[in-house]
Amino acid sequence: MSRYRGPRVKIIRRPGALPGLTSKVLKPKSSYIDRSTSNKKVSQYRIRLEEKQKLRFHYGLTERQLLKYVRIARRVKGSTGQVLLQLLEMRLDNTIFRLGMASTIPGARQLVNHRHISINNDIVDIPSYNCEPGDIITVREKQKSQSIITKNINVFQKLKIPSHLTFDPTELRGFVNQTINREWIDLKINELLVVEYYSRQV
């Protein structure tokens, strides 16, 4: 399954806010009734599927990519669900988003693909690059790169930067202080249901 490129507001109608996918928020409609579930018992499979889809759309992953991360998380010692979230949060595109350098994760992915970002003075154009403690994320010295990031920061840096990261807006430089903890992940999701969804595939 390819990465979703359709209307983003359409996606957040059921799961609610997905800040990684879009900064838009739907207005509540008091008269709206979800007819698909109002008179039907929701199956456990559907609950797990919706949590999986929420995770996939938030981080902008394909089905194959998410399955790969679940398999990696299963091999790591510790809670599979928490390890899975840590792997996704430490991706370069998500880290740039969390630093406030882009409004969404797709926007951050575009910055990486267009070679605007350097890590430890080396240009990295792979959005799935795994950031590690001690990494220094900087913007290339090209005027175009710096003007794009500066504009994004002035407009979009509204969310609180999580404690595992620090950002210097004057130098356009971010620092990865440590691996993210579960309590710093602001996405409302039950990661155990995602692991259960893939239990027969890994």
Q: Read off the CATH number of the domain in which 141 is found.
A: 3.10.290.10
> Is residue 8 within 8 Å of residue 22, measured between CB atoms?
yes
Low-confidence stretches of the chain (pLDDT beneath 50): 1, 26, 28-37
pTM > 0.95: yes or no: no
Q: Tell me what pLDDT residue 30 has.
A: 41
Q: Tell me what pLDDT residue 94 has.
A: 94
Angular region, 60: left φ>0, alpha ψ -120 to 50, beta rest: left
Question: Residue 38 falls within a domain, yes or no?
Answer: yes
Q: Give the total residue count for the chain.
A: 202
Reading the block at residue 24, the tokens are 């838009």
Average pLDDT, the chain: 81
Cα within 13 Å of Cα(28), Cβ side: 1
- Tokens 């010692």 locate to 77
Question: Residue 19 falls within a domain, yes or no?
Answer: yes
Q: Tell me what pLDDT residue 1 has.
A: 46
Q: Tell me what pLDDT residue 134 has.
A: 96
Cα dihedral 121, 97, 68, 184, rounded to 10, equals 110
Question: Residue 3 falls within a domain, yes or no?
Answer: no
| Residue 91: Cβ within 10 Å count | 25
Cα dihedral 166, 125, 23, 48, rounded to 10, equals -100
- Alpha-carbon distance 189 to 48, whole Å? 11
Query: Domain containing 29 — which CATH number?
Result: 1.10.1050.10
Same domain assignment for residues 97 and 171: yes
Same domain assignment for residues 76 and 123: no
Tell me how many domains the chain contains. Answer: 2
- Alpha-carbon distance 157 to 154, whole Å? 6
Q: Tell me what pLDDT residue 54 has.
A: 87
- Alpha-carbon distance 142 to 150, whole Å? 12
| Residue 137: domain span | 91-179
